[in-house]
Structure 1
């Protein structure tokens, strides 16, 4: 992506992608919307400094804010509902739900590593840079996260890399 001319242009071009990433990090639509909003509020304040290449900075703010949010909340309250879905659950739905459940049971750092590495398709080195951790941390967190998902949802084995 070439450098956007304005903050508004950047948000218009990247909002959908930022929202998808935020959803993968948080696992909930409302939390994802809040995360994107908090991220953009922080970014607009430094826009002139980062305007030439905003994505790395924006992603770093998003990932760090998500981990901070998780630490502040230490435990997610249950979300109860008395309304059941009316549509029939398909195999793809079952796989998605199993993956969402397994991701929700990882630590924020493990979940972040998986999102950066396999959704954002960043290298291990770039993931370490974005998260502000060492390369060894990225490698070990990836290994631990994949092992944990295999334990939690063995039916997802075909989705996992070795």
Structure 2
């Protein structure tokens, strides 16, 4: 890679890092996994930088890379996602309803990965159905059905209450 290309890459990644990290965290709900997803994405971007930067919309291209890294990571064995220590404390956001946020995040963690990706992209990143379909490489109808199924599952989980969600999350991912 030429020095000019490397400077462009560093400038781009530096500017996009916070939004990539936020997207990754919303997908996997784990600070450390989010960092790993972002690292994998920007490493792949570096390898293919000269080709990647010629994309029509580089931001969407990199978001697509990140979502695909997340979905590929979900297909790996359980040992890549097991926590051997207690989960580190999450930093509170000023002015946010922390209890509601924690309950919604716990429920979202129990939604299947592809549906979770659609819900995060649709409602947290505010992307239209056409862009989500392009990012995930599927039809718009598939995005709509995944959204409907994901919302139904989320409603079902939220109807169970916070204590039940925490029990299910511990059973699925290990101790908190």
Q: TM-score range by the shorter chain?
A: 0.7 to 0.9
> Alpha-carbon deviations, 1:62-91, whole Å to 9, x = none?
111111111103574356539989x9xx98
Q: Residue 31 of structure 2 corresponds to which residue in structure 1?
A: 29
Q: Aligned partners of 1:128, 1:39: CA distance in 2, in Å?
A: 19
Q: Deviations over 1:5-61 (max 9, x none)?
A: 711111111101100000011110000000000000001122122225321211111
Tell me, in whole angstroms, the C-alpha distance in 2 between the residues paired with 1:130 and 1:116: 9
1:8: which partner in 2?
Answer: 10
Partner of 1:59: 63
Indicate the residue corresponding to 1:77 in structure 2: 82
2 CA distance for matches of 1:110 and 1:36?
20
Q: How does 1:78-93 map to 2 (within 5 A)?
A: 81=86, 92-93=97-98
Distance 1:147-1:38 versus aligned 2 partners, 3 A rule: same
The 1:146–1:11 alpha-carbon spacing in structure 2 relative to 1, beyond 3 Å, is same
| TM-score after normalising by structure 2 | 0.75
The structure-2 alpha-carbon separation of the partners of 1:93 and 1:42, relative to structure 1 and needing over 3 Å to count, comes to same
Unaligned residue ranges in structure 2 (runs of 5+)? 1-6, 163-176
Determine the structure 2 residue equivalent to 1:160.
none
CA distances 1:70-128 after superposition (whole Å, capped 9, x unpaired): 1103574356539989x9xx981111111111111011100100111112211101100
The CA RMSD over aligned residues, in Å, is 2.7
- CA 1:67–1:84 in structure 2 vs 1: closer, same or farther (change >3 Å)? closer
Task: Give the paired residue count.
Answer: 149
Task: Tell me whether 1:96 sits opposite 2:125 in the alignment.
Answer: no
Output the TM-score relative to the length of structure 1. 0.82
SS at match of 1:121: coil
CA–CA separation in structure 2 for the residues paired with 1:147 and 1:79 = 32
Distance 1:10 1:126, change over 3 A: same
Report the Cα distance in structure 2 between the residues aligned to 1:73 and 1:130, rounded to whole angstroms.
24
